[in-house]
Amino acid sequence: MTDAVTAARSVYAAFAAADMAALADLLAETEWHEAEGMPYGGVWTGIGEIAQNVFGPIGADIPDFTAIPDELLPLGDDRAIAFGFYRGRDGAVATPFCHVWTVADDRIVQFVQYADSHLYRQQTGLL
């Protein structure tokens, strides 16, 4: 059985490596909650919607974008919580985030983002 910390760590690694095949496998049916107020805010389901509405626009808007957690901790048996910073080229972006991941049947079924949308928009120029 895949625990939530391992599953979330796999998503961060696949995103950092731009491994869309791995992301497609990990996020096939995921319900993705991007915080309201963020440029990509909304609820997206499955890798197609997530890639079109979140990953693609982020890649186009923020050169060298990363989301690597400083801490990734279990929240019970089926959830994990991550704390870190969104970063971009030359330190232009340094916005803190909190992500909550939920796993069921060895698959990521939900992602919820918490972030300071005002700070993110200021740092990225996406006002």
Is the CA virtual torsion 64, 22, 55, 36 positive or negative? negative
Name the amino acid, one letter, at 47.
I
The pair of structure tokens assigned to 22 is 């791995």
Q: Which domain holds residue 98?
A: 4-124
> Would you state the pLDDT for residue 126?
84
Q: How far apart are CA 111 and CA 44, in angstroms?
A: 10
> Would you state the pLDDT for residue 125?
87
Alpha carbon separation from 105 to 37, 73, 77 (Å, rounded): 32, 19, 12
> Would you state the pLDDT for residue 22?
94
> Would you state the pLDDT for residue 75?
95
Q: Where are the alpha helices (DSSP H) in 17-109?
A: 20-26, 46-50, 56-61
Q: What is the CATH number of the domain that holds 117?
A: 3.10.450.50
Provide the number of structural domains found in the chain: 1
Q: What is the pLDDT along the chain (127 residues), one digit of tens a residue?
A: 679 999 999 999 999 999 999 999 999 899 999 999 999 999 999 999 999 999 999 989 898 899 989 999 999 889 999 999 999 877 778 999 999 999 998 889 999 999 999 999 999 888 7
Name the amino acid, one letter, at 97.
F
- pTM value is 0.93
